[in-house]
């Protein structure tokens, strides 16, 4: 519902409903999944979202893997803008390699997807409140957290035994709870994207272009969404870039799709360095707030769903046992490290290498790829075969691989 200037709501039920077992701050994919899992585990849950419309503003290219998504939710066809059947990799000089990967994934309609995930949390028993911003979290009496909230001119306090911070990559919840959530500029993908129309895209084949002059420390993407529309964006490392992400994107768009119409612009960041601590006393961080996105690609939807689900389940169990101490909640961090966190940390090291690759390196990698992918689809190729082929293609890559294994 759009916010109007003359109607700051008089609904104060959110203060009356306190205390809750669990308050989840942020109704992105991570928060909604955490709220859903905690509610399914028997907790009384309040999910709050500062914006008046869940999923808006959108800050995402909306690409997601089909099999991994199905591990967390039954996919509703209305979430899907377009199917992904492969990918096109483009070198700095413009050479292209097309890889077939039938049924690989989707380009989502995240505005619909995010809203439905919140609805699923509500169906599981969570209360959902939009237009309610958390402005502080502090320890209160009887082991309860006090979550200070604001809605327009109104202020209130919600008490909760446990708080889940799902408030995105600039998470304030973690900071309020005393966790060090600072990031240096080099530890962020700085991104900007247009939804464009009238673009001559190859439907079902997202396109990725690397190059120091195109997207230093990152890449440019084209994610087709059907009917000649596409999410076209760049992600860069602010420390290696000479210009703003927007300047790189404008140049890329003018060259790649001259005449394409810009329908919507979005600016955002993705953390590229994993968060050290994900828990505190009565506190869990999930999704971008916990910095669980892939440090290389910046993809974070699936790990938002995974971390939200895991945290919600462990929160519910801890609440049932009456122990929400940091020591009890460390089970979430341990489980995360064991299953996914280790891989993210390794990928963060690979990103360090990625940042050092030259345009000549990208051209050489594309050469290897074009030979490997010349025949058949990618499913018939073992990913380790690809890595092995790249590493053994030049002494420079061998040296890099040795560095990674140290
Ligand atoms: C340009 C760009 C393109 C991307 N493309 C992809 C992609 O193609 N595929 C992919 O997998 N990932 C992609 N990502 C990453 C992905 O969007 C995120 O990893 C994902 O949205 C994380 O989900 P989340 O729930 O943790 O956080 P978010 O989706 O950021 O949700 C956080 C929510 O918390 C709310 N909030 C914040 N503070 C408060 C507060 N104080 N009180 C109440 N509510 C609050 C916000 O309004 C927001 O709704 C992209 C990111 C960017 C920036």
The per-residue pLDDT for range 66-105, each reduced to its tens digit, is: 999 999 999 999 999 999 999 999 999 999 999 999 999 9
CB atoms within 10 A of CB 357: 17
Ligand 1 cavity residues, CB under 6 Å:
25-31, 48-51, 59-64, 133-134, 166-168, 172, 191, 193, 233, 268-270, 287-289, 293, 298-301, 304
Note the pLDDT tens digit of each residue in 374-398: 765 666 666 667 777 777 777 777 7
Residue where the block lists tokens 């205390």? 19
Mean pLDDT of 133-156: 88
Residue 399 confidence class, pLDDT cut points 50, 70, 90 = confident
* Ligand 1 centroid, distance to 268 Cα (angstroms): 9
- Residue bearing the CA closest to ligand 1, atom 51: 60
Q: How big is the CA angle at 143 (ends 137 and 148), to the nearest 5 degrees?
A: 20
- Residue bearing the CA closest to ligand 1, atom 21: 301
Higher pLDDT, 216 or 17: 216
Mutate to test the pocket of ligand 1, among 3, 35, 50 (most ligand atoms within 8 A of CB): 50
Beta-carbon contacts of 405 under 8 Å, excluding residues fewer than 6 positions away, are none
Domain coordinates of the chain in residue numbers?
13-57+111-183+273-352, 81-105+185-271, 356-405
Beta-carbon contacts of 336 under 8 Å, excluding residues fewer than 6 positions away, are 278, 290, 292, 307, 310
CATH code matching the domain that covers 13-57+111-183+273-352, chosen among 3.50.50.60, 3.40.50.720, 2.10.109.10, 3.40.50.1970: 3.50.50.60
State the CATH architecture for 81-105+185-271: 2-Layer Sandwich (3.30)
Mutate to test the pocket of ligand 1, among 24, 34, 61 (most ligand atoms within 8 A of CB): 61
pTM over 0.85: yes
30 Cα nearest atom in ligand 1:
25
172 Cα nearest atom in ligand 1:
41
């Amino acid at each position: 519902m759009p916010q109007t200037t003359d109607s700051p709501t008089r609904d104060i039920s959110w203060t009356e409903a306190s205390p809750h077992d669990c308050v989840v701050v942020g109704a992105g994919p991570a928060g909604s999944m955490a709220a859903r899992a905690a509610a399914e585990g028997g907790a009384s849950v309040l999910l709050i979202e500062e914006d008046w419309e869940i999923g808006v503003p959108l800050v995402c290219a909306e690409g997601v893997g089909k099999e991994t998504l199905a591990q967390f939710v039954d996919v509703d066809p209305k979430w899907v803008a377009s199917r992904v059947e492969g990918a096109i990799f483009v070198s700095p000089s413009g050479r292209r390699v097309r890889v077939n990967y039938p049924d690989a994934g989707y380009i989502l309609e995240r505005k619909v997807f995010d809203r439905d995930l919140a609805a699923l949390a509500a169906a599981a028993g969570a209360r959902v409140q939009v237009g309610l911003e958390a402005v502080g979290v502090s320890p209160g009496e009887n082991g309860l957290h006090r979550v200070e909230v604001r809605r327009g001119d109104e202020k209130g306090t919600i008490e909760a035994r446990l708080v889940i911070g799902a408030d995105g990559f600039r998470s304030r919840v973690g900071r309020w709870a005393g966790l060090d959530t600072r990031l240096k500029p080099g530890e962020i993908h700085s991104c900007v994207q247009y939804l464009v129309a009238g673009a001559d895209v190859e439907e079902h084949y997202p396109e990725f272009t690397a190059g120091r002059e195109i997207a230093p420390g990152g890449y440019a993407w084209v994610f087709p969404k059907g009917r000649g529309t596409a999410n076209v964006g760049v992600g860069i490392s602010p420390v290696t870039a000479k210009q703003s992400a927007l300047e790189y994107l404008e140049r890329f768009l003018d060259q790649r799709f001259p005449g394409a119409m810009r329908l919507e612009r979005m600016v955002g960041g993705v953390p590229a360095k994993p968060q050290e601590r994900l828990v505190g006393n009565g506190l869990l961080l999930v999704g971008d707030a916990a910095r669980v996105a892939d440090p290389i690609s910046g993809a974070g939807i699936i790990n938002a769903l995974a971390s939200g689900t895991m945290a919600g389940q462990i929160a519910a169990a801890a609440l049932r046992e009456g122990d929400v101490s940091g020591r009890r909640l460390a089970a979430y961090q341990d489980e995360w490290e064991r299953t996914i966190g280790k891989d993210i940390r390794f990928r963060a090291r690979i990103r360090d290498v990625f940042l050092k690759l030259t345009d000549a390196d990208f051209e050489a990698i594309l050469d290897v790829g074009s030979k490997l992918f010349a025949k058949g689809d990618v499913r018939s190729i073992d990913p380790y075969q690809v890595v092995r082929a790249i590493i053994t293609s030049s002494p420079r890559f061998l040296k890099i691989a040795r560095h990674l294994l140290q």
